[in-house]
């Protein structure tokens, strides 16, 4: 079933969004099915404040990951947290299991082409008491081979999904008892020409319902014609997102370059508008989706991440050399904003006629860590209960000075953090800061 989601603002909605009691107050979510409208350019004019981690955290754990000859990490791609374990997907060395205090326990699977082995990890999923390692299918890039293990690393089975993905970035999403496929463009595979971004799956990974980025409507032919590298880097289209936030029993979805944040209705199996963001002027679809982005694209306000917590909803935006963290209070309807320097990275594309790849260095939520010091970068959101930040040994010198000079709510926790940083050697695995959300 093909579902198009196009945000239509009725007169009553426009009126409710236009009447604010103060410059940073918006109507709160009085009813479960109400829609909130936020004018982001107006929020950007507000006084900048510090957004603090303690507003969202019940506690924070400082976890040095044990460094042994069997647990060396190079680049952490993803983290998953349970009540007793930490699972790490390392780009070079595979999947590792640690205890919650950072003690190395075991590896999960290994590289190879035999039963239960994988050549390349596409995704790490921890579902109940099973570890799922997904890799692009050998039969087709549109499929996924899902290798299933227990927590001790014992191989159980391999599941081959049907053809799902037209790109190389497709992933699977497990939300409560439901499964989804997420498939942003670029397009590499030609087995389908309908470009859904999110699809609801059944237990055998067959598609039950498709959800489309509204901006794709009428552009299917253009997307197809700008699909693969054989058409040239300059005409190659790709996108970020979709941006998905899961908290408790709610899943919010925002499509790339769209102004609407949808809430998934578990009963009706639909995406319904929850937040309407007026982002102001936008770049064209073609400019925003070019793999080789022109500098002009970065002059526009762009949404890059969303996060829900118990009391707040966060929107992370960029424009020019600024990164904005915007907090909307679900109780009071107030908005608050912090501002940080955004770093735009540029590098030459090898083999191209002088093309420059441009992207922001970091586009995630950043809060003042008033629990143990420094800034808390939300690097991973492994479940609806935890946020994770990663402290690399190469960053210690700058971080230490910031921690020592900063004020925190818990001086003993600050001393513990400083002590663990002092003990950290250059070759050691990173320290994880694991926040348990309220």
- Is 279 a domain residue? yes
CA-nearest of 429, 434, 433, 432 to 74 is 429
Report if residue 343 sits inside a domain.
no
Q: How far apart are alpha carbons 153 and 159 in whole angstroms?
A: 17
CA distances from 134 to 55, 66, 137, 173, 215 (A): 35, 26, 9, 11, 29
Q: Which helix (H) or strand (E) holds 397?
A: helix 396-405
- Provide the pLDDT for residue 307: 97
Helix 396-405 vs helix 411-423: angle between axes, to the nearest 10 degrees? 160
Query: Number of structural domains, the chain?
Result: 1
Q: What is the pLDDT of residues 189-219, one digit of tens each?
A: 777 778 999 999 999 999 999 999 999 988 8
Q: Give yes or no for residue 230 having a pLDDT over 80.
A: no
23: in domain:
no
User: Residue 330: which H helix or E strand, with range?
Assistant: none
Residue 348 lies inside a defined structural domain of this protein = no
Indicate whether 306 belongs to any domain.
no
Q: How many angstroms separate the Cα of 124 from the Cα of each of 104, 198, 338, 366? A: 18, 18, 32, 24
Residue 140 has pLDDT above 80, yes or no: no
* Residue 372 three-state SS: coil
Return d(Cα 122, Cα 172) in angstroms, integer: 10
Average pLDDT over residues 281-301: 93
Q: Whole-angstrom Cα distance, residue 83 to residue 382?
A: 12
Query: Which residues pair with residue 130 across a beta bridge?
Result: 127, 150
pLDDT at 187: 81
Residue 228 lies in a domain: yes
Q: Give the pLDDT confidence score for residue 115 in this predicted structure.
A: 85
Confidence class for position 417, pLDDT limits 50, 70, 90: very high
pLDDT at 261 > cutoff 50: yes
For residues 388 and 235, the model is more confident at 388
pLDDT at 191: 76
* pLDDT, position 33: 67
Mean pLDDT calculated for residue range 412-436: 95
Average pLDDT, the chain: 88
pLDDT surpasses 90 at 220: no
User: Which residues, other chains included, contact 108 with Cβ-Cβ below 8 Å and sequence gap of 6+?
Assistant: 87, 94, 95, 96, 97, 131, 133, 149, 153
Task: Give the pLDDT of residue 7.
Answer: 39
Least confident segment among 46-50, 56-60, 184-188, 233-237: 233-237
> Residue 267: what are its φ and ψ, rounded to 5°?
-80, -50
* The pLDDT of residue 19 is above 80: no
Boundaries of domain holding 285: 53-295+369-437
pLDDT-based confidence at residue 16 (cuts at 50, 70, 90): very low
Nearest to 367 by CA among 57, 14, 25, 2: 57
Q: 422 lies in a domain?
A: yes
The CATH number covering residue 134 comes to: 2.40.128.630
Output DSSP code: residue 230: G
Tokens of 219: 């552009």
pLDDT digits (tens, 9 = 90+) for 392-405: 988 888 888 889 88
Q: What is the mean pLDDT of residues 350-356?
A: 82
Is the pLDDT at 29 greater than 60? The verdict is no
In a domain, 252, yes or no: yes
The 3-class SS string of 200-219 reads EECCCCCEEEEEECHHHCCC
Asked whether residue 80 carries a pLDDT value surpassing 50, the answer given is: yes
Give me the percent of the chain exceeding a pLDDT of 70.
90
């Amino acid at each position: 079933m093909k579902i198009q989601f196009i945000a239509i603002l009725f007169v009553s909605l426009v009126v409710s969004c236009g009447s604010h009691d103060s410059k940073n107050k918006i109507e709160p979510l009085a009813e479960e099915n109400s829609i909130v409208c936020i004018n982001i350019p107006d929020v950007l004019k507000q006084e900048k404040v510090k957004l603090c981690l303690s507003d969202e955290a019940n506690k924070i754990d400082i976890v040095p990951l044990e460094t042994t000859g069997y647990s060396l990490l190079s680049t952490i791609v993803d983290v998953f947290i349970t009540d007793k374990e930490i699972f790490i997907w390392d780009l070079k060395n595979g999947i590792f299991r640690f205890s919650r205090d950072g003690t190395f326990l075991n590896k999960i699977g290994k590289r190879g082409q035999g039963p239960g082995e994988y050549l390349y990890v596409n995704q790490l999923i921890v579902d109940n008491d099973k570890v799922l390692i997904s890799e692009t299918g050998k039969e087709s890039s549109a499929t996924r081979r899902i290798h299933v293990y227990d927590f001790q690393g014992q191989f159980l089975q391999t599941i081959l999904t049907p053809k799902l993905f037209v790109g190389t970035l497709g992933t699977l999403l497990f939300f409560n008892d439901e499964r989804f496929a997420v498939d942003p463009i670029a397009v590499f595979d030609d087995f389908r020409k309908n470009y859904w971004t999110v699809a609801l799956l059944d237990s055998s990974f067959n598609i039950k319902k498709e959800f489309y980025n509204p901006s794709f409507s009428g552009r299917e032919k253009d997307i197809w014609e700008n699909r693969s590298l054989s058409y040239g880097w300059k005409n190659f289209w790709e996108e970020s997102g979709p941006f998905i936030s899961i908290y408790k029993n709610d899943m919010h979805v925002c499509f790339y370059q769209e102004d609407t944040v949808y809430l998934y209705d578990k009963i009706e199996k639909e995406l319904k508008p929850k937040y309407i963001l007026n982002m102001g002027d936008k770049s064209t679809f073609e400019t925003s989706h070019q793999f080789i982005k022109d500098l002009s694209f970065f002059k526009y306000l762009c949404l890059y991440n969303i996060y829900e917590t118990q009391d707040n909803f966060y929107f992370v935006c960029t424009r020019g050399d600024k990164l904005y963290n915007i907090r909307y209070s679900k109780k009071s309807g107030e908005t608050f904003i912090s501002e940080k320097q955004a770093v735009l990275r540029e590098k030459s594309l090898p083999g191209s006629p002088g093309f420059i790849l441009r992207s922001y260095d970091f586009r995630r939520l950043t809060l003042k860590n008033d629990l143990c010091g420094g800034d808390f970068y939300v690097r991973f959101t492994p479940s609806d209960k935890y946020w994770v930040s990663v402290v690399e040994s190469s960053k210690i010198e700058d971080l230490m000075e910031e921690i020592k000079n900063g004020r925190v709510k818990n001086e003993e926790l600050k001393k513990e953090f400083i002590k663990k940083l002092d003990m950290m050697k250059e070759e050691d695995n990173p320290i994880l800061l694991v926040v348990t959300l309220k």
